[in-house]
Amino acid sequence: MDWYTGSNFNDLIIFLVWGLALLVILLAIYCFWLRLIYDLRGKKRKKLFSRWEEIIFEYLDRKKLPSEIVESMPKSEYDYFLDFIKDYLIVIKGEDFKRLSVLINQTKLFSYLINKLKQGNSQMRSDAAFFLGLARAYKAKEFLRERLKDRNDSVSYNCALSLAKIGDIDAVSDILIQYRNCKNYSRDSLLCILFEFGNSVCQSLLQHLLKEKEDSLRILIIDVLGHYRYFSAGKAILNLLNLSNNNELRIHCIKAIGRMEYIEALPTLRRCLDEPDCVIRSQAISAIGKIGDITIENKLVEKLGDENWWVRYRAAEALFSTFEQGKESLKDILAHSKNKKAVSAAQVILTEKAMGV
Amino acid sequence: MANLIVSIRFYNYMILGYFLTICSIYLVLNIISFKAIRKYTHKITHIELKNVFRFSNTKPISLIVPAYNEGNTIIDSTKAFLQLEYPEFQIIVVNDGSKDDTLDKLITHFSMKKVHFGVIENLNTKPLRGVYMSSKYPSLIVLDKENGGKADAINAGINISKNPLICVVDADSILERDCLLKIAHPFMENENTIAVGGIVRIANGCKVKYGRVLEIGPPKSWLGKIQVVEYLRAFLFGRTGFDSLNAMLIISGAFGCFKREALIKVGGYKSDSLGEDMEIVVKMHEIIRKNNPKARITFVPDPICWTLVPENFPSLRSQRIRWQKGTVQSLGLHKKLFLNPKYGWVGLLAFPYFTIFEMFGPIIEFSGYVIVILSYLLRITDVSFVVVFFTAAVLYGIVLSILSVILEEMSFRKYPKGVHLFILFCASVLENLGYRQLLTWWRFQAMVEYLFGARSWGKIEKKGFTVL
């Protein structure tokens, strides 16, 4: 029963104590060894970076050829060089960017990255996809498309983002299919990818919108079309707003229509002002405010007394920004109205505008 | 007498079981954390955060800063908040009826004017005394209200915030410039994310200028240095480990970000809470995950919030007693989560872990010391066993602390000098020789006080940052 007081158990615990003491010493040594390694790596990195800094500016000044920089570099320094050039590729634009990207696209670094993308572990594949996108490596698009279906989320995401940076519009379908089938990145992540294509993606997305049956994807496409104010999509989005029973989809339609200031949507938007869903009402007011419908001043004043705070706020905001006399109307409401809700909404907007919010 | 001896022996077995279980849990959490942090550090190197947040799907943030008698630090920290990098955010400083010059300093320094401003939500709070804005700093709002405690002040801030994300930050904290980008990113990555916690690091010993930490160093006192290791262990492997299981039960009150709609859905913070940071998270698990099991409360080890910690024993005691009482209160309020499989790992692992090891831990550990002494006096066990067992426990604690320092070395390496590493190593040893036992004693006292109804916040002496 009292084995724990027995000498065997004591021996076991003593053995454990010695083991733990040894572990403490080993961990401490490992910790300092890690610091030493990182410091040495840091020094090497610093030395290489300061050498490359001079070289890169000479290269941008056309005093050096790409091959002179990369071909003489040992393979062990490739990752350091990619790390070095990363910030330049992110920050620099125009002709200098094109010259910098040549250092990756037309040298040994390209095949190095392609090999990593094909054969490396998930971290290497992800790195390679990232750098190929950063350097706008158009030649790599087929390899990146292949890796869209990668089981690792990070690799798949970086491939999609890189294809977007490269501007490979043909890959949009694959990216949407991948999202629909695997959902291996979020809605917002997909939005970022689609935004990254720039407004050139809109035409392709409009074609997808006309064919698409799934509301979650429709919403995403509408958000991008709205973001880029793609006016040609106004009709299709208005149709969805009129025909859909999905309020979430309709809310995104209203937002997009407002952003693109699609004037043909005004009759529909006016009808939306009396919808039971408060988000639809508030977004419709916001959209009408952006388009600038001067016929609904009284309706907006009425909406200042709506039961929902956001509807009241948007109505006050629309009154202020749409009508010349909007500011005076709000001041008048503040001074004379007995409706506390309307007064509060007017107060918030007048204060915010006065403070420059 | 025979019965007493049998009982003591049985209790000794229990203590041994308790010790082995907690060691195993820590080991598993360590392994999970190493993997998770490595994955995170790799991921973050390839995310161009500024690019991610330049589009129209970016979610604006309201930064709520509850402030009570923060005259020493409020200007520095508010200046730092104004410099944060994020496309759209507002700062709401809530003066919770401070008795010092917190409000006057804010009004004078930022040229604030009293304005009329309506509330959006109707979470119950103590009455508002005024809202102040400044045309020089349009993104800054100061809310003055009667004293109602931290939770009440946060609720008042929520009531006037319009943005879909709400970030709560302590007034005596400094945020790194890109930390909003980092803490908002999980909301973009996963639409089910409802709350995100960031890492809190210790600002004592760091040099601050223009509201930014310019030089990082360990605190001067050993009490501060030990807390550096303690925070590393709590955040880098405690939070990261539980996060990997979607079982985070606490987001530090010093820095956390929430979906506004989730906060409203759970009725905001509990006003009389002693541990509002834990209570809100446990409540979110209970209410939101009940309907949406995919809802995620997560932790990001990188967005850094620098905060001041107490460097004297009375203040530290006061802080730890409040934390312990807060833990007991939060767990007691939401006890239906205990071993409830509906809540996944939260119900099956995190909640029982917190109940057994965090809530009852001090009682078990304290009584363990008493029983061991009794066992020795009654000759149930010999002194060599007691010494060896205690040594094993201390060494295991040192191993865990050093593992946290290694985790820091492998990931963020915030402490630049070799001598800092040596200090952290020494603190890892010292932490387990007296400091942890002292904490156990305070936490035990907190349990006793809580049972007898003493539920006040206590007083903590606060110093300002070391300004360059």
In whole angstroms, what is the distance from residue A232 CA to residue B95 CA?
51
Quick check: helix, strand or coil at residue A352? helix
The answer to whether B184 and B135 are in contact (CB under 8 A) is: no
Specify which of A46-60, A243-257, B198-212, B366-380 reaches the highest per-range mean pLDDT.
A243-257
Q: pLDDT above 90 covers what percent of chain B?
A: 61
Determine whether the interchain pair A24/B188 forms a contact, defined as Cβ–Cβ distance below 8 Å.
no
Determine whether the interchain pair B134/A355 forms a contact, defined as Cβ–Cβ distance below 8 Å.
yes
Best of B190, B294, B385 to disrupt the A interface (most A CBs within 10 Å) is B385
Among A1, A2, A10, the residue with its CB nearest the CB of B388 is A10
> How far is A137 from chain B, CA to nearest CA, in Å?
17
**pLDDT class for B374, splitting at 50, 70, 90?**
confident
Q: Where in chain B is the domain with CATH 3.90.550.10?
A: 49-344
Quick check: helix, strand or coil at residue B189? helix
Whether the predicted pLDDT of A104 surpasses 50: yes
Closest alpha carbon within chain B to A259: B56
| CATH code for the part of the protein at B49-344 | 3.90.550.10
Residue A158 with chain B: CB contacts under 8 Å: 46
At which residue do the structure tokens 């910790």 appear? A31
Can you count the helices (H) and strands (E) in chain B?
Answer: 17, 13
In whole angstroms, what is the distance from residue B354 CA to residue B362 CA?
12
Please report the number of interchain residue pairs, chain A to chain B, with beta-carbon separation below 8 angstroms.
129
Determine whether the interchain pair B425/A158 forms a contact, defined as Cβ–Cβ distance below 8 Å.
no
Burial of residue A328 (CB within 10 Å: 0-12, 13-18, 19+) is: exposed
Among B46, B56, B396, the residue with its CB nearest the CB of A227 is B56
Whether the predicted pLDDT of B95 surpasses 50: yes
Residue B115 tokens read as 């304005």
Determine whether the interchain pair B190/A191 forms a contact, defined as Cβ–Cβ distance below 8 Å.
no
> How far is A63 from chain B, CA to nearest CA, in Å?
31
pLDDT at B458: 62
| pLDDT tens, position by position, B138-189 | 999 999 999 999 999 999 999 999 899 999 999 888 899 999 999 999 998 8
Best of B56, B120, B136, B401 to disrupt the A interface (most A CBs within 10 Å) is B56
Whether the predicted pLDDT of A215 surpasses 80: yes
Closest alpha carbon within chain A to B46: A130
In whole angstroms, what is the distance from residue B268 CA to residue B282 CA?
12
Determine whether the interchain pair A348/B12 forms a contact, defined as Cβ–Cβ distance below 8 Å.
no
Quick check: helix, strand or coil at residue B69? coil
Determine whether the interchain pair A24/B399 forms a contact, defined as Cβ–Cβ distance below 8 Å.
yes
Please report, as a single letter, which amino acid is at residue A172: V
The answer to whether A308 and A286 are in contact (CB under 8 A) is: no
Instruction: List, in order of start, the domains of chain A with CATH numbers.
Output: 53-60+79-182 (1.25.10.10)
Instruction: Compute the 3-state secondary structure of chain B and give helix, strand, coil in percent, each to the nearest 5.
Output: 55, 15, 30
In whole angstroms, what is the distance from residue B239 CA to residue B252 CA?
10
> How far is A69 from chain B, CA to nearest CA, in Å?
24
**pLDDT class for B467, splitting at 50, 70, 90?**
low
Best of A7, A11, A27, A339 to disrupt the B interface (most B CBs within 10 Å) is A27
In whole angstroms, what is the distance from residue B240 CA to residue B247 CA?
10
Average pLDDT over residues B344-372: 90
For A213-270, the three-class secondary structure string (H helix, E strand, C coil) is CCHHHHHHHHHHHHHCCCHHHHHHHHHHHHHCCCHHHHHHHHHHHHHCCCHHHHHHHH
Whether the predicted pLDDT of A2 surpasses 60: no
Best of A20, A25, A80 to disrupt the B interface (most B CBs within 10 Å) is A20
Mean pLDDT of chain B: 89
Interface predicted TM-score of the whole assembly (ipTM), two decimals: 0.84
Average pLDDT over residues B412-432: 93
Residue B76, CA atoms < 13 Å, CB-side half-sphere: 27
pLDDT at B399: 94
Quick check: helix, strand or coil at residue B385? helix
> How far is B416 from chain A, CA to nearest CA, in Å?
10
Among B138, B402, B403, the residue with its CB nearest the CB of A356 is B138
> How far is B384 from chain A, CA to nearest CA, in Å?
8
Among A21, A35, A188, the residue with its CB nearest the CB of B191 is A188
Least confident residue range of A40-44, A289-293, B11-15, B461-465: B461-465
Distance (Å) of CA B369 to CA A309, B12, B387, B396, B436: 58, 10, 12, 17, 13
The answer to whether A134 and A89 are in contact (CB under 8 A) is: yes
Determine whether the interchain pair B138/A355 forms a contact, defined as Cβ–Cβ distance below 8 Å.
yes
Phi-psi region of A7 (alpha: psi -120 to 50; beta: other; left: phi over 0): alpha
Whether the predicted pLDDT of B46 surpasses 80: no
The DSSP bridge pattern shows strands B255-259 and B193-202 to be: antiparallel
pLDDT at A1: 43
Quick check: helix, strand or coil at residue B167? strand
Whether the predicted pLDDT of B48 surpasses 80: no
pLDDT at B456: 66
Q: Which residue has the higher pLDDT, A63 or A168?
A: A168
> How far is B42 from chain A, CA to nearest CA, in Å?
8
Helix residue ranges, H only, chain A: 7-60, 66-70, 78-91, 94-105, 108-119, 122-134, 141-146, 153-166, 172-182, 187-196, 202-211, 215-227, 234-243, 247-259, 266-272, 278-291, 297-303, 309-322, 326-336, 340-355
pLDDT at B463: 62
Determine whether the interchain pair B406/A348 forms a contact, defined as Cβ–Cβ distance below 8 Å.
no
Determine whether the interchain pair B135/A35 forms a contact, defined as Cβ–Cβ distance below 8 Å.
no
- Other Cβ atoms less than 10 A from the Cβ of A322: the count is 18
At which residue do the structure tokens 């570099």 appear? A73
Determine whether the interchain pair B391/A35 forms a contact, defined as Cβ–Cβ distance below 8 Å.
no
pLDDT at B3: 80
Distance (Å) of CA B268 to CA B339, B371, B376: 25, 43, 51
- Longest Cα–Cα distance of chain B, Å, equals 79
The answer to whether A137 and A109 are in contact (CB under 8 A) is: no
In whole angstroms, what is the distance from residue B260 CA to residue B250 CA?
17
Residue A200 tokens read as 């050139």
Determine whether the interchain pair B388/A32 forms a contact, defined as Cβ–Cβ distance below 8 Å.
no
Residue A310 tokens read as 């956001």
Among B90, B133, B189, the residue with its CB nearest the CB of A351 is B133
The answer to whether B389 and B369 are in contact (CB under 8 A) is: no
Helix residue ranges, H only, B111-213: 150-160, 179-189
- Longest Cα–Cα distance of chain A, Å, equals 95
Closest alpha carbon within chain A to B54: A192
Q: pLDDT above 70 covers what percent of chain A?
A: 97
Closest by CA position to B91, among listed B105, B104, B75: B75
Determine whether the interchain pair B120/A309 forms a contact, defined as Cβ–Cβ distance below 8 Å.
yes
Residue A13 with chain B: CB contacts under 8 Å: 385, 388-389, 392
**Alpha carbon distance, N-terminus to C-terminus of chain B:** 66
Closest by CA position to B48, among listed A90, A258, A243, A23: A90
pLDDT at A137: 94
Determine whether the interchain pair A4/B16 forms a contact, defined as Cβ–Cβ distance below 8 Å.
yes
> How far is B335 from chain A, CA to nearest CA, in Å?
33
Determine whether the interchain pair B9/A2 forms a contact, defined as Cβ–Cβ distance below 8 Å.
yes
Q: pLDDT above 70 covers what percent of chain B?
A: 97
> How far is A119 from chain B, CA to nearest CA, in Å?
18
pLDDT at B462: 60
Among B46, B56, B190, the residue with its CB nearest the CB of A158 is B46
Among A5, A24, A355, the residue with its CB nearest the CB of B135 is A355
pLDDT at B154: 96
Quick check: helix, strand or coil at residue A40? helix
In whole angstroms, what is the distance from residue B152 CA to residue B136 CA?
28
Angle between helices A309-322 and A278-291 (to 10 degrees): 10
Closest by CA position to A96, among listed A122, A132, A59: A59
Average pLDDT over residues A118-125: 92
Mean pLDDT of chain A: 90
Residue A30 with chain B: CB contacts under 8 Å: 406
DSSP label at residue B59: P
Average pLDDT over residues A224-253: 95
